[in-house]
Each structure stands twice: as C-alpha cells, then as structure tokens.
Structure 1
Amino acid sequence: MARLHLIIILFFFFFSAAFATGKPHAFMMKVSKHDFGYLYYSSIEVGTAQNSFSVNLVLDLSSKSQFPWFDCSATRYNSSSYRPFRFGSPGCKLVKNAVPWDCPNAIGAPPTSFCFNQSCGVFPISDVEIVYIGSLGEDIMRLGSRFTTPPVVFSCVNPSTAGTVPESSPGILSLSRHVLSLPMQLASSLQLPRKFALCLPSNTNQEPGRGSLFIGGGPYLYPPYSGDASGLFATTSFVTNPAIKARHKGASPGDYFVDVRSIEVDGETIRFDKSILSVDKKGKGGTTFDITRPYTYMRSSIFNPFIKAFKAKARARKMIETTTYAPYSACFDRKSVRTGIAGPDVPAIDLVLRDGKKWRIYGSNLMVDDGESWCLTVQGGSGVRPAILIGGILVENNLMEFDIESSKFSVTSSLLLHNTSCTRSATA
C-alpha cells in the first residue's frame, strides 16, 4: 500500500511542477440537464488548441466510473498532446484490473496513433468487464473558460462503450473517490482541497438552465440569497463500506455512503429495522447516490412503511390519490395538491443525519408532473443493494458538498426556499 501511495504522489508531482505558475483557485464548471431524460452533463474541450474537440460528459458519482472516459474515434479526436499509457506504467498501475491490450487489432479501437501493442487496457465501467474495454492515456483539457488543465488521465473507448450513454454525451465524467476521478486528479495536480460541490439544475439544457460543479470548494453564491450558501449546510460524515475497505487493503475508493440514521415523513418517524441503514461486512445497506438514475430507491423493508405513512399524511392534506402506474409509487390529482415555494405542497421527507441534523426533502424533489397528476418518484424493491439509493430528481436544486479530505458530506435543502436555484450561481 505504501508503494501505491508513493506512485500516486510521484505521478502527480511532475504535473504539479510543470504547471506551478498560474494555478487556479477553486473553480466552477457548468452543469446541464438533458432535454430527454434525467442525466446531467458538463462540457469539456480536450487536446491542443488546433486539434481539440468538445465533448459533453455525463456526471457520475458512483464508484462504477474510476476515471473520465469518452469516444476517441478518429473523426472526433486528433490531438498532438495526447499520450497513451503502456501496460505496467505508473499511471496504468493506478487503475483496478488493468490488462495489456493490443488495441490496434481490436474492433472499434482508437486510432493506432493513440494506441499500440501492450497498451494499458482498462474497463471504463468497472463492474462490466470483457464487453467494454478502452485504452488509458492523458491530455490537456479546458474546463469552461477559466484555464487549461495539466494533463488529465482518461480512457479512450470504442463506440460500443459510448453507446451506454446518450449520443450527444458520449462518455462519463467521474466524480468518484478514485484517485483518477476528475476532482481528485485536479486537486492533486493543482494543489486544491480534495473537495467538490454539485448543484444540479431542474431545467433542461436551455439557458438559463445550468447548474454548477465546483472543484476545490466555494464560495457558493446564489443570489438573491445573501451570503455563502454553505451557511445552509447540514453536515454529516461519510460511512466507509467495510467490504470495499477490505478489498482495497485500507483504501476507500467506493461509493459515497452518507450517515443517515432514520427517516421522517412530515415529522413522524418511520418504523423499520434501522440496522440496514448501516453498511454491513458484505457491502449491503447504507445510503448512497446514483445520479445517472432519476428516481430514488428504498429497500422494501423501508419503502413499505414509508409509502404507508406518506399516503396517510397526504390524505390528511386532502390530497386525492389517483390511478398509479409504473414507474411511480403513488399519484395524486393535481387539483387537490396546493403549490408552494418548493414545488407541490406534499408531505416532506426528512433524512435524519448523525447528531440529529436533518436533510429535508420537499415536493419539487419528490414529485413529477404527468399532466393531470403529481406522482411520487420514490420507489421500493427487494433487489436494492444499498438501503437507500438517491437518484437525480431528489437532489436537484440542493447544493451538495463532498469533502473527501475531511470525509464529510454537506447539503442544503431546496434552494427554492430561499428564492434561488442551482441555475443562479454568481461564482466566477
């Protein structure tokens, strides 16, 4: 393990020295929402100025993505500053399950100028091996209009891998804990704090429907709210997944598990076995995120008492339940639901954090409009590995900070309560 840490330090030290002048402070990237679905992406420009290309990359908080990856087919990308990695090189050793890959002979491989025999073959989707493979390399990037980065490690993939995401966003921007995720790479090479914040828009990608990804910390300014929105944070600790920790010999490159202790609906505590909110030795249980999914999922043992309590509180508000259809768990006649500052005025959900702090979830993050009804987007299922899997809708217009250095998670409730939203960031 000590040797791996030394490799990581030496690997990024070279790039830190090379870019020692003009290092930026914490900076912001714009985040857009796809018109046709609940996916969120940022635009980056890759490569030398004369041969660069722009690509939209879907944001992913999960540990499935260790590093950024995208389609590097010949018609899209021909950068003279691209440097592929050989198998066994220091950079290649940072990736789980890397293999030697003679990619010029593979179907759909990147151009031979970007790949060669004994390339560092990697699996961009870490839990889907053999089917999807790409080559690891590095190139400079421009993130927004602020600056050009030191070389960033990413994977060129073949078009079949990019087919797992929308054609307009042919790749993934990893925000995971892994040392090669974008926030971790830039924190190391630019000597920024190992933290990032995310504020997902509820609007689609039409202006002004853009949220923000902050790398390196705040301030977080959202006028007309006065001051730094970090003053609205409820903070708790991340929870280590024992199974991942054991597998990686003390490291913690797994998902972001948040220390949720109980759940309330309109102030009433839901009764269920709270032990499943902890992550067990097999890696089951706990509360984590997957913003590539729109809906939030709960284990059946949580969902069943939750939906019973939610419907009871809805009846107390004189909300009229209508016919419910997949994928929703309950729908209500929109005429019977009042509208508040944070969306439809439905029973609020509190995720009760460590030390009794509460992350309150309001109607705009619980319901979707199907035309005649408001429908609940929280679902249940016996096949959910975590106890609670938080999807994209639930966190829209909530500012979230992932402080990897301090192992803390901070979140606001809906910014709509303060007459602002994720699209109103004033941070330069």
Structure 2
Amino acid sequence: MASASKSQYFHFSNLVLFIILLSSKNIIAAQDQKPPQAFYIPITKDSKTLQYLASIQIGTPPATVDAVIDLGGQFLSLACDKYNSSTTRRSVPCDSSECKTVLGHAQSKKRCGSNDTCSLSSFNPFNKNAVAAGELSDEIVAVHSTDGTASLPATYSTHLVFSCADSNSLLKGLAKGGNGILGLGRKTPQMSLPTKLSSAYNLPPKFALCVPSSNEYGFGDLFVGGGPYLFPGGNDASKGLVYTPLAESSEGEYFVYVKAIKIDKRVVHNFDTSLLAINQKGIGGTKISTATPFGVLHSSIYKAVVGDFVKRAAARNITRVTPVAPFGACFSTKNLHWTKAGPRVPVIDLELPGNMVSLNWRIEGANSMVRVNKYVLCLGFVDGGSKAKASIVLGGHQLEDNFLEFDLSRTMLGFTSSLLPRDETCSHVRNL
C-alpha cells in the first residue's frame, strides 16, 4: 500500500465535501443529516518526538489543525493565533455557567481575565508539565463520520469549550506542526471531545485508540461512539477485545489493575507488590499514557523486571551489551530472530482482572524492544525512580499496534494486545 499524507487526506476529504455541497441548492443542517454511526479522526506519528497527532477541523470556515494526543489530558488546548480567523469562536465570560461548571463556582471568581473572560491554565506534559496561560473559548469542531471501514465524506459538528492558550508556552516541546494538545481524559467531561460528540449525537460514550508505529502505510485511528472497527480484509477489532476494569484516578487519567507481571509465563517476584495498587494518596498503580514515549517503572519493579528479563534472554542465547541511555538493558541483534510480533525475546505478560477470569496483556518484542541502531536493541522501559506517582506507566511504544477501547459508561478498557500476529496494524488508509 502506498504511503499516505495527512494533508492529502484532508485536501481530498474537503474536496469531496465541497463537491457534495455545490450539488445541492441548500446546505443541509447537521440536525437534518442521517444520524452518524460513529466518528473517525486519523492519527499520525512524529518520528522525531515520538508523539501522536490527531487532525480535527475547527472554526468557521473550517481549518484543519493537528493536536498532539495526551490520553490523560483533561481538555483540548490550542494556540488560537496559529489557525485561521474564525467567525464562530467566542470567549467564555467569567460569570457564565460554562466557566462555573468547568472550573467550579468558587474557582471561576478567581479566574477572571482582563476582559472578564474565564481564564484557564493548561499543562504541557511534553515540556516538563509547563503551564500555559489562556482563556476558555467556545468553538465549533467538526469530524468525519465512519461506518467502521471508511472515513465518510459527511462531517458533523458540535460546540466545544477548550483552552485558547499562549502559543509560546503551549507549543514548546510539541512535534513540528502540532498546534495544541488533545486531551482525552475523563476528569472534565464538559470539555472532552469524545464525550461531547457522543452526547450530541446520542452515541455510546466510548472511544477507541489505535496508535501507529509508523506512517509508512497510512494513519492510526481514533474512533468515537463505538464499533465496528474494521481493518483492511474485513476483520473487526471489536470481536477480539477482552475487557478489564479501569481504576479510579483523581486526575481522570486511565489506570488498570495489574495483579502480576510475568516474563515467559513466570511471575516476577522480588519487589514490593503493594506498588501495583493505587493507595489512599493516589500513589501507585498502572497508567496508560501517550504522553510518555516508553514504559516507566518504579525502581523496585524495574530492578526485578530487568533482572528476570536478562536471565530469560541469556537462556535464549541473547547477548547483553553496554546499555544505551535512557535504557538500562540492551542486547545484541546477532542471535535474534524475528517474528510477526517483532524480535523473538522473552514475552512480558501483565495479568489483569477480567470477568470471572484473569487476562493477560501480552507485550511481545515489537512493543517491548526499541531498536537504537543496526546492532543493538534495548528493553523499552526506563527506571522512574522511587517517588514516581504511578508505579508502572505503559508508554506509547507499548501501545503501538494494540487496539484499545475506553468504555466510559461501564468504566472498562477493552484491549487486544498486539495486532501484528494477526497480520494487522494501526497504520493504514480508511479511504473515502
């Protein structure tokens, strides 16, 4: 399949939509359109920063903007001076119900800007959690509908309140071309794009994420509103999902309950297993994150996992070599063999609770190993120290080519583990 371009995708998409509109005497209002089955937003990966960008249309006339995905982020933050002037964007007043709902009644009085606008600070996790000052704004956001196979020409819109932030602070550390941050967290549903779209069109409150390991064959996927999730060849990813509960998080991030860590089916011991649970102070547990490129482990867990992984690798005649920062365990490619799921190395399983049975989120070579040069692969987890808030962070590298569905009404995560052994990938084209 030919390599795809994000700009070509939207130019073609907008051209089709323009032709459709020209053929009609009147523009059909969104409420008069056939109800959408679900929504689709394409995702690309920036090879330099290892960030994932979602393309959305915003404003009137619609402008395509790319926002870096932060799975645990709480809302959409945009550098408003970086996209075309819009006739529909408005500042949210400080004394409005929107400001009070989003910030809380007491906080809204403390957040009045110079023009009596509702002030809002944005955290940038890609720049050491720097704070970008901004104001709460209301704007029209439009996305394409989908039937699960293709991105359809019809677009549907909803009003969304978001942070219109200072570009100097907000864009620092973001991938080139990134104009903001798309938060998909669940702490502030009033500002969540998936929640707003689902509510506006009476769709199930869920979204699905399939982040690509490269852009070689096309785009990754962000679905809103439920499946089916069809891949080239007709396979439906929703049929392969198994579900585990999402843990509570005070910040609205996505945590899962890991009961045990296994390497080649043997449980990893020699670490404080209480770290696997979130304590009363909100410390511990396992977080799923797109803002972290690689996995991060509490020092106690890291030492135990690396120790067992090295032993299992040696038993397979895989040679350990000098580590390459930021990784602590690296190996020669000399005696390695490759499978559909990447290099054949010890398999890591995270044991999770399921419906009456335990489930394994399997992390095979493509998601456990990082190639640093032609001759060296490194275990794609880093030491997060002993004071990290989350004991385990599954970063972007662990999520690539895995299909994840976040069911917000049931507070459940559906996952598939790697799609690669099924000859499927999160890099493809959903043609119009």
Q: Pick the TM interval, shorter chain.
A: 0.7 to 0.9
**Deviation digits for residues 110-150 of structure 1 (CA, Å, limit 9, x no counterpart):** xxxxxxx1101001228999952111111112324541312
Structure 1 residues 89 and 162, CA gap change in structure 2 (3 angstroms): same
| 1:218 maps to 2:227 | yes
SS at match of 1:191: coil
SS at match of 1:236: strand
Structure 1 residues 125 and 288, CA gap change in structure 2 (3 angstroms): same
State how 1:88-99 maps to structure 2 within 5 Å. Answer: 88-96=95-103, 97-98=107-108, 99=110
1:234 positional shift: 2.5
Structure 1 residue aligned with 2:50: 38
1:424 positional shift: 3.5
Structure 1 residue aligned with 2:379: 376
**Deviation digits for residues 13-59 of structure 1 (CA, Å, limit 9, x no counterpart):** xxxxx95432422121111001312100111121112xx32211001
**Deviation digits for residues 376-420 of structure 1 (CA, Å, limit 9, x no counterpart):** 111122232111111100010000010010000111111101011
Does the CA contact (< 8 Å) of 1:67 and 1:173 recur in 2?
yes
1:322 positional shift: 0.9
How far apart, CA to CA, are the structure 2 residues paired with 1:218 and 1:131? 36
Structure 1 residues 239 and 101, CA gap change in structure 2 (3 angstroms): same
State how 1:347-366 maps to structure 2 within 5 Å. Answer: 347-354=346-353, 355-366=357-368
How far apart, CA to CA, are the structure 1 residues paired with 2:350 and 2:175? 32
TM-score by length of 1: 0.84
TM-score by length of 2: 0.83
How far apart, CA to CA, are the structure 1 residues paired with 2:158 and 2:203? 13
State how 1:4-403 maps to structure 2 within 5 Å. Answer: 20-22=31-33, 23-49=35-61, 52-62=62-72, 65-73=73-81, 76-96=83-103, 97-98=107-108, 99-103=110-114, 117-125=115-123, 131-144=131-144, 145-164=153-172, 165-177=174-186, 178-179=188-189, 180-204=191-215, 208-224=217-233, 227-241=235-249, 244=250, 254-271=252-269, 272-354=271-353, 355-371=357-373, 372-380=375-383, 381-403=385-407
Which amino acid letter does the alignment assign opposite residue 420 of structure 1? E
SS at match of 2:334: helix
Which amino acid letter does the alignment assign opposite residue 93 of structure 1? K
How far apart, CA to CA, are the structure 1 residues paired with 2:101 and 2:218? 36
**Deviation digits for residues 260-308 of structure 1 (CA, Å, limit 9, x no counterpart):** 1111001000113322211111000111122111111111121111111
RMSD: 2.1
Which amino acid letter does the alignment assign opposite residue 201 of structure 2? L
Structure 2 residue aligned with 1:114: none
SS at match of 1:149: strand
SS at match of 1:353: strand
Which amino acid letter does the alignment assign opposite residue 230 of structure 2? L
Which amino acid letter does the alignment assign opposite residue 197 of structure 2? L
Structure 1 residue aligned with 2:149: none
1:81 positional shift: 1.0
Does the CA contact (< 8 Å) of 2:43 and 2:221 recur in 1?
yes
Which amino acid letter does the alignment assign opposite residue 259 of structure 1? Y
How far apart, CA to CA, are the structure 1 residues paired with 2:55 and 2:307? 42
How far apart, CA to CA, are the structure 2 residues paired with 1:126 and 1:211? 23
Which amino acid letter does the alignment assign opposite residue 85 of structure 2? N
How far apart, CA to CA, are the structure 2 residues paired with 1:90 and 1:374? 53
Which amino acid letter does the alignment assign opposite residue 46 of structure 1? I
Structure 1 residues 76 and 357, CA gap change in structure 2 (3 angstroms): closer
1:229 positional shift: 1.5
1:156 positional shift: 1.0
Which amino acid letter does the alignment assign opposite residue 228 of structure 2? P
1:100 positional shift: 3.4
Structure 2 unaligned spans of 5+:
1-28, 145-152
How far apart, CA to CA, are the structure 2 residues paired with 1:390 and 1:37? 17
Which amino acid letter does the alignment assign opposite residue 363 of structure 1? G
The structure with the largest strand share of the pair is: 2
How far apart, CA to CA, are the structure 2 residues paired with 1:413 and 1:427? 25
Structure 1 residues 329 and 126, CA gap change in structure 2 (3 angstroms): closer
How far apart, CA to CA, are the structure 2 residues paired with 1:129 and 1:293? 12
| Aligned residue pair count | 380
Structure 1 unaligned spans of 5+:
1-17, 104-116, 245-252
Does the CA contact (< 8 Å) of 1:237 and 1:259 recur in 2?
yes
How far apart, CA to CA, are the structure 1 residues paired with 2:248 and 2:122? 23
Which amino acid letter does the alignment assign opposite residue 307 of structure 1? V
SS at match of 1:193: coil
1:94 positional shift: 2.8
